[in-house]
Structure 1
Amino acid sequence: MKGRVAALVMALLLLLYVVLVAQRAYLFLRTGEPIAVVLGAALVVLPLLGAWALVVELRFGARTQQMVRELAASGELPVDDVPRRASGRYDREAADAAFPRWAAEAAESPDDWRSWFRLGLAYDACGDRRRARRALRWSIKLRGEAAAASR
């Protein structure tokens, strides 16, 4: 829930930022001065890139949340029994010890989005966010392909 609220706050702040920057960009572009026009154009492009990145992240979060609900409903979501430190982060050694199980499952079922999703969760518990996101993106792709094939 905190993540959703944080994402909503960030989206609203980005929207406010885009409006304020668009106003400045318009003023720069109206001057007709070459340097001001270039600055105005940059002020249009950069917020658009930020908005695009936010939309991509929100879609990623929505899809992974949908997958969590689906796995939880079918009883296939792994039990979160890895001990945590006082900070709330997973104990790295315990997470590393549990990791081979999920890696082997993904290797045995390379076309199953569920196994890749669980592997992504395991990578995240081990602190490897880059591989976690890559595994979760792959899981999203496989799930989409499976849904398209079943139509």
Structure 2
Amino acid sequence: MSARIGVAVMAALLALYIVLVGQRARLLLTSGDGIAVAMGVVLVVLPAIAAWALGRELWFGVRAQQVGRRLEAEGGLPQDEVAVRPSGRVLREDGDAVFPKYRADAEAHPDDWRAWYRLGLAYDAAGDRRRAREAVRTAIRLEKSDQPG
């Protein structure tokens, strides 16, 4: 739940930032000075990029959660016994220990979204967030093509 609160706070702060920068951009765009107008254009473009990036990340989170729920409903989430910190994060040593099994499963079944999602969880447990996100993105793409209809 705290992650959702964090996301809501970040989204609200981005919205406030966009409003404040938008006001400055309007002033610069209407100033008539060439450099000020150019700065105003940049102030319009950068918040648009930030909003797009935030939207993309929010959509990734929603889809990752949907795929995770589907895998959980199927009983396919990893059942490995691993030690966790008080925060709930897996101890890196335990994550590293179970990682090879999930990597081998994803390599053996490259079209199985379930294997890729489990690999993403294993990457995350091993502390490799970039590869975890890549694996989960692959799982989302494969799961979407696996949908009936």
Q: What TM-score results when the alignment is normalised by the length of structure 1?
A: 0.93
Deviates more, 1:21-30 or 1:78-87: 78-87
Identical residues among aligned pairs (%):
56
Aligned match of 2:112: 112
- Distance (Å, rounded) in 1 between the aligned partners of 2:127 and 2:146: 29
Deviates more, 1:138-147 or 1:71-80: 71-80
Aligned match of 1:9: 9
1:84 shift after superposition: 2.3
- Distance (Å, rounded) in 2 between the aligned partners of 1:28 and 1:81: 59
Aligned match of 1:76: 76
**RMSD over equivalenced CA pairs, Å:** 1.4
Bigger relative contact order (CA 8 A; separation at least 6)? 2
1:87 shift after superposition: 5.9
Say yes or no: does 1:142 pair with 2:142: yes
Which structure 2 residues correspond to residues 1-150 of structure 1 after superposition, within 5 A?
Answer: 1-79=1-79, 81-85=81-85, 88-147=88-147, 150=148
Provide structure 2 residue ranges, at least 5 long, that are not aligned to the other structure.
none
Provide structure 1 residue ranges, at least 5 long, that are not aligned to the other structure.
none
- Distance (Å, rounded) in 2 between the aligned partners of 1:89 and 1:71: 20
* Cα distance per residue 1:31-68 (max 9 Å; x no partner): 01011001101110111111001000000000011111
Distance change (3 Å), C-alpha of 1:80 and 1:49: farther
- Shift >6 Å, 4+ stretches: none
1:109 shift after superposition: 1.2
Aligned residues: 149
- Distance (Å, rounded) in 2 between the aligned partners of 1:3 and 1:80: 24
Distance change (3 Å), C-alpha of 1:71 and 1:94: same
* Cα distance per residue 1:5-36 (max 9 Å; x no partner): 11111111111110111011000000010110
1:86 shift after superposition: 5.2
